[in-house]
Amino acid sequence: MTLRSRLLIAQLPLALALGLVGVLAVSTLRELGEGGQRILQDNYRSVLAAQRMKDALERIDSGALFVAIGERKQGYEQIAQQQPLFERELDVQQSNVTEPGEAEATGELRSHWEAYLEALERYLPLEGQETLRARYLTDLAPRFHATRNAADAVLALNQDAMVAKSEELRRTSKRINMLTITGVLAALLAGLTASAALTRRALHPMAVLSQAVRRLGQGDLEARAQVAATGEIGQLAADFNAMAERLRVYRESSLGELLQAQSSSQAAIDSLPDPVVVFSAEGGVLNVNRAAEQRLGVSVEQVDASLAHVGPELREVLERVRAHVLSGKGPYIPRGYEEAVRVESGEGPLFFLPRGTPVYAETSGIVGATVLLQDVTRLKRFDELKNDLVATVAHEFRTPLTSLRMAIHLCVEEVVGPLTTKQADLLNAAREDCERLQKIVDDLLDLSRIQSGQLELHVRAVSPDELVEEAVAPYRGTAQERQVDLVTFLSPDMDRVEVDPERISVVLGNLVANAVRHSPEGGRVEVALAKGDGAVRFEVSDNGPGIPHEHQARIFDRFYRVPGVDGGAAGLGLSIARDIVRAHGGDIGVMSEEGKGSRFWFTVPERRGLVTA
Ligand code: ADP
């Protein structure tokens, strides 16, 4: 049944009660009306007739008196006029006998009237005033009184009946009033009770449904609407139950997946040998892996999951990386092993290299940061070992290399005797290789100095033009030999920069040497200066073969050389250049297109607090 029909049915008792009240009111009114009507019909007419008969009788009597005083004509006229009136009213009364004793009273009135008429007939023919007066007093007057009394009796009888009936009517109306009020109240009460009960019954499924909706809203996914109703509410309840079921299934599956994902991600970070700390967007510790618990003493089970128990060196680095990542600067990638933090432990010093990664949410951006402290103790030791080895080897190479170069130089210059062409060619090739070897040795020594923290900058204010000229000069000869046009674009008005000129010359020299070496015969190398954003920018461009895109980011790494490219040294030049530029607080990079050439650039701040490597 539809909700509308249910509600309509629920209103039926009230409507019935109203109908009943209406019927009761109509019948009460009719009964009261009929009571009034009865009084009017039964008694009022008789009262009127008795009154009129009395009037007519008085007039007839005064007519008789007129005759007695000699006004015979007027007396006759009056009697002739009033007599039919009396008789007509007497007939009316006779036909309207309604009360007990009224028939007898009416009969008596008629007999007195007839006796009066007879006496009147005897009276009227008499002559002589005295005779008439005497007869009037003896014969007519007593009969007149008797007739009038009889009419009075009829009158009184009907008036009494009227009073009694109206009293009866008043009582009846009072009773009916009481009955009506009681009936109305009872009907209304019954109607209201029944309507309320039916409405409650009709709306009961709605209440059940709304309770189920509320429970579901509060998170109780087991909430269902147990509704037996059909129609719209039944359909609504069925739809609701289906929705709740789907929600429960979805929640179960997503919760399961979530738990699984959580435990597998926990297992994944636990499997890492290095400490991992996950920070919230507010900076609190959200999660740690087993290695972090063991090595750093941080635990998320602690009430204050914070870095309070972590040693000062690691805490400082964790906080720095966390701040870097949470400030939106992107992931934190260490520049090299030199950034590793040294921590003393029972088994000797340990080295940790920090890495930070932002945790993103789809909608709200960064919601946390993951910091991994990579244990690079062994690598660091290898690195140190390698540096020592490289430094030692380079150092040991230097002296024999110098004498070797000297010997070759003396031979080539024919100081020790003339050479055949073949011998000269061979010695020239040996000299070239010696020069390369010398560059490698120099680079290795530079590198080992930088790595052991010995890159001390001797800063002074220099004009950028001067720097360019001094750095380019040693390569003019080589450029000429290779028929490469080496052009410098100077800016005489440019302010001096505060740099270590020796070191910047190394950087510029490396870039120019590379550019000249990679330029084809007849090529062109340009060295230019530019100013902007509080820094001076040096640019070295060539129209050589260019550098394939995939190698561009790596050519600044140590010992990296583009595969398949001949010549050059140990792949250290650009890495040394980068270390020097960064030590100055600047930056270095390359723009290159294969087949078109390369443009290397680096910047140094115009004036700044210098960074020591
Ligand atoms: P090397 O001293 O061995 O040349 P670098 O660090 O100076 O090492 O350079 C690294 C690599 O970058 C080189 O092997 C070379 O292939 C490439 N490279 C450097 N400069 C240029 C250039 N101007 N044009 C093309 N390739 C270059």
590 lines ligand 1 (CB under 6 A): no
Residue pLDDT, tens place only, 98-139: 889 999 999 999 999 999 999 999 999 998 888 999 999 999
Ligand 1 in reach of 561 Cβ (< 6 A) = yes
Mean pLDDT of the residues in the chain: 87
Does the pLDDT value for residue 300 go beyond 80?
Answer: no
How many whole angstroms separate alpha carbon 241 and alpha carbon 252?
16
Q: What tokens were used for 159? A: 């008036």
Per-residue pLDDT tens digits for 479-515: 998 899 999 998 888 888 999 998 899 899 999 999 9
Tens-place pLDDT, residues 265-297: 888 888 888 999 888 888 888 888 888 888 877
Pocket test of ligand 1: the residue of 445, 512, 514, 540 to mutate, having most ligand atoms within 8 Å of its CB, is: 514
The per-residue pLDDT for range 169-208, each reduced to its tens digit, is 889 888 888 888 888 888 888 888 888 888 888 788 888 8
Number of CB atoms found within 10 A of residue 390's CB:
18
Span 563-579, mean pLDDT?
81
Q: What percent of the chain clears pLDDT 90, i.e. is strictly above it?
A: 37
Q: How far is the CA of 509 from the centre of ligand 1 (A)?
A: 13
In angstroms, rounded to a whole number, what is the distance separating the alpha carbons of residues 351 and 537? 36
570 CB within 6 A, ligand 1: yes
Distance 434 CA to ligand 1 centre (A): 19
Ligand 1 proximity of 99 Cβ (cutoff 6 Å): no
Percentage of the chain surpassing pLDDT 70?
97
pLDDT higher than threshold 90 for residue 592: yes
Q: What is the pLDDT of residue 194?
A: 86
| Predicted local distance difference test score (pLDDT) of residue 610 | 42
At 151, the pLDDT band (50, 70, 90 cuts) reads: very high
CB 322 within 8 A of CB 361: no
* Ligand 1 atom with minimal separation from the 439 CA: 2
pLDDT per residue as tens digits for the range 235-264:
888 899 999 998 888 888 877 888 888 888
pLDDT at 568: 67
Between 45-68 and 102-123, two packed helices, what is the crossing angle to 10 degrees? 20
Ligand 1 pocket test, candidate residues 542, 551, 561, most atoms within 8 A of CB: 561
- What pLDDT shows up at residue 457? 81
pLDDT class for 342, splitting at 50, 70, 90?
A: confident
Average the pLDDT over 571-582 and give the result: 88
Q: What are phi and psi of 535, to 5 degrees?
A: -140, 155
Res 613 pLDDT > 50: no
Rounded to the nearest whole angstrom, what is the distance from the C-alpha of residue 125 to the centroid of ligand 1?
Answer: 179
Which residue type, as a one-letter code, is found at position 243? Answer: M
How large is the angle between the packed helices 501-518 and 464-481, nearest 10 degrees? Answer: 30
> What is the pLDDT, as a whole number, of residue 612?
40
Q: Quick one: which atom of ligand 1 is closest to the CA of 510?
A: 7
pLDDT at 304: 57
What's the confidence (pLDDT) of residue 288?
A: 87
Which residues on adjacent β-strands are paired with residue 244? none
Q: What is the structure's pLDDT at 65?
A: 92
> To which H or E segment does residue 167 belong?
helix 141-217
Length of the chain: 613
In this predicted structure, what is the pLDDT of residue 83?
A: 94
* 558/484: higher pLDDT: 484
Distance 414 CA to ligand 1 centre (A): 35
- Tell me: the pLDDT tens digits for 384-430? 888 788 888 888 888 899 999 999 999 998 888 898 999 999 999 99
Expressed in angstroms and rounded, the spacing between residue 516 Cα and the centre of ligand 1 is 11
Q: Which atom of ligand 1 is nearest to the CA of 576?
A: 6
pLDDT at 608: 53
Q: Which residue has the higher pLDDT, 295 or 46?
A: 46
